[in-house]
Structures are given as structure tokens and as C-alpha cells.
Amino acid sequence: MVQRASPDHPLVQALARAGFIAAEDEAAELLAAAHGDETRLHAMLQRRLTGEPLAWITGHARFCGIDVTVDPGVYVPRWHSEQLALRAAARLPENGVAVDVCTGSGAVAAVLSARRPRARVVGSDLDERAVTCARRNRVEAYRGDLFDPLPAELRGRVDVVTGVVPYVPTAELPLLQRDTFSFETPLAYDGGDDGTAVLRRVLAEAPAWLRPGGAVVLELGGRQPALLAEELARLGYAPATVLVDEEGDVRGIEAVHEVRLASDA
Ligand SMILES: C[S@@+](CC[C@H](N)C(=O)[O-])C[C@H]1O[C@@H](n2cnc3c(N)ncnc32)[C@H](O)[C@@H]1O
């Protein structure tokens, strides 16, 4: 854990003047990443002042207490996904199998591996930069659409499928934070008309990979659990548990797949 920088440090003041609310924490991270090199520190500050994500500048982020490498261009793991990763880890047996679709930097998968070192944890992502980054985080990552690139021998054997998939309704993309909208790719966020397009595909494809009684743990928000309830029942899932954060905001669903349908085989 990096110590906070003092409020009168010039770096803190420059960040605070530019409106960064966590200026002391950010300054401390930049100082640690610059390793005493003033030229490098100056260049890093200039990048941050443009709104570029801090993790792309320092090269890493903390997630569930572990250090995750985050390469420029790759989605920065968020604190609100931590609950999902921990819930999924609790579902994963010691020697179990987990799939993390839309793995990005591999943050969720890395947490699962850290908590269950003997389990097999695989991830997928459409973006080559993400796959490279996830591999740097020691995730067995494959490039491709959702389940398509995963090893076929895992079909029917997966204990838990996790996914922080794109789930922002297309019309709401311009409402995302400045850093997000200017720097990160819509591929990480755009979930179609009501935000559930990719969620629905994951729910439909997961049963072929899950063992009976396996579960999906998916990030979503707002009214999306209600939008998906009928689909969950139709696909053979038990009613989902809705995950909320400490402020009562909806953050995800956890749903066990109970019924093996003929079409899953
Ligand atoms: C919101 S980010 C989440 C990344 C990571 N799970 C995390 O929490 O830090 C979504 C990721 O999904 C990837 N993605 C979007 N559509 C995809 C698809 N159809 N198949 C695989 N990956 C996809 C994006 O490239 C992006 O890395």
C-alpha cells in the first residue's frame, strides 16, 4: 500500500488545482511509479492532467488486495467489481474450474486464482491488448468472442462463470466520466439498447459450459435484474440473487443453473 503524499507537496497541489479529488493518493502513486526520476514524474503528471486513467500511467491497479498490471488501452478494474470476484471465489472449489468472459486485464480471474491456486481459471476477451495484459497477470487468456475461444474440454465442467461484460445502454455512453469517455473503448461498455445485449448472450451460452448446479456471477446495474428475470427462468436458471453495494446500488446477479436443457448438450 502506497502512503499518501503530504497536502503541501507540489504534485498534490497541481492535481488538486486540476480538480482531482484524491490528489494525495494519486500523487503518492505517481511518486512511487516514477522511482525518483523527476523527468518521468513530470511526464506522468502531464498525462494525468489530460484525464488519462492513473492505472495506465503507473501500469497497475489494486483489486481485492492484489496488484494487477493494467496496460494502456485496457479497462481499469473498478472497486465495485470486487464483490463479484469474491462471491465467485466463494463458489469455486479448490480444484474447480472458472471462466471469466470479457476478462480485460484479467483482474477477476487473477483474484479467483489467488484465492483458489489449484483451480483452473480461464478468461476470454475480444481485444488483443486485453488478452496480452491478462496473460501478464498470469491468466490463461484466449482471444475471441465470449466462450468461442475456450478449450472445448471445459464444456459441462465449469463451476462458475464470471463476467464484467459491457452493460451500459448505448444512449447513456456519453454520460460516463470524462476519463472513461475520452480514453476507454466503447467495446468495454456498450451493452446495446437497454444494456443487456451481451448479458443475454452470456446467459444463453453459459449453460453448455456449466456443470449442473454451476453458477453465473455477472455485473450489471439499475433495472437490469428485472429485465433479465424471464430470460433466466426460460434458460433453466434459479431466481437470481441480486448483489448490491453498501449504498444499496445494484451491482450484479448471481444465478445457479439448475436444469440441463436438451439444447445445452
Ligand atoms: C468492462 S470491461 C471488464 C474487464 C474486466 N473483467 C474487469 O472487470 O476489469 C469489458 C471487457 O469486455 C471485452 N469484450 C467486449 N465484448 C466482448 C465479447 N463479445 N467477447 C469477449 N470480450 C468482450 C472488452 O474488450 C473489455 O475488455
Atom 4 of ligand 1: nearest residue by CA position: 104
Which atom of ligand 1 approaches the CA of 130 most closely? 27
Amino acid found at 29: E
How far is the centre of ligand 1, averaged over its atoms, from the C-alpha of 136 (Å)? Answer: 16
81: buried, middle or exposed (CB in 10 Å: 19+, 13-18, 0-12)? buried
Q: Phi and psi for 188 in degrees, rounded to 5?
A: -80, -15
User: What is the Cα–Cα distance from 43 to 234, expressed in whole angstroms?
Assistant: 54
pLDDT digits (tens, 9 = 90+) for 206-262: 999 999 999 999 999 999 999 999 999 999 999 999 999 999 999 999 999 987 655
81 CB within 6 A, ligand 1: yes
pTM confidence score: 0.94
State whether the beta carbon of 238 lies less than 6 angstroms from ligand 1. no
Distances (CA, A) of 187 to 86, 97, 104, 167, 198: 25, 27, 11, 10, 11
Measure the CA–CA gap between 128 and 144, rounded to whole angstroms. Answer: 9
Q: Quick: pLDDT tens for 10-39.
A: 999 999 999 999 999 999 999 999 999 999
Looking at the predicted structure, is the pLDDT value of residue 124 above 60?
A: yes
Grid coordinates representing 9 are 507537496
Question: For ligand 1, atom 7, which residue shows the shortest CA distance?
Answer: 77
Angle, CA 130 vertex, CA 149 and CA 148 arms, to 5°: 10
194 Cβ below 6 A of ligand 1: no
Question: How does pLDDT run across 73-104, given as a tens digit for each residue?
Answer: 999 999 999 999 999 999 999 999 999 999 99
Ligand 1 centroid from CA 5, angstroms? 33
Mean pLDDT of 107-127: 98
Residue 2 has a pLDDT of 66
Report the separation in Å between the CA atom of 24 and the middle of ligand 1, taken as the mean of its atom positions.
30
Q: Model confidence over 140-166: pLDDT tens digits?
A: 999 999 999 999 999 999 999 999 999
Atom of ligand 1 nearest to the CA of 201: 19
The pLDDT of residue 262 is 55
pLDDT digits (tens, 9 = 90+) for 169-195: 999 998 887 677 788 888 999 999 999
- For ligand 1, say whether the CB of 124 is within 6 Å of any of its atoms: yes
What is the spatial distance between Cα 153 and Cα 156, in angstroms, rounded to a whole number?
8
Query: Interhelix angle for 10-17 vs 38-49, to 10°?
Result: 10
Mean of pLDDT values over 107-115 = 98
Q: Are 18 and 43 in contact (CB under 8 A)?
A: no
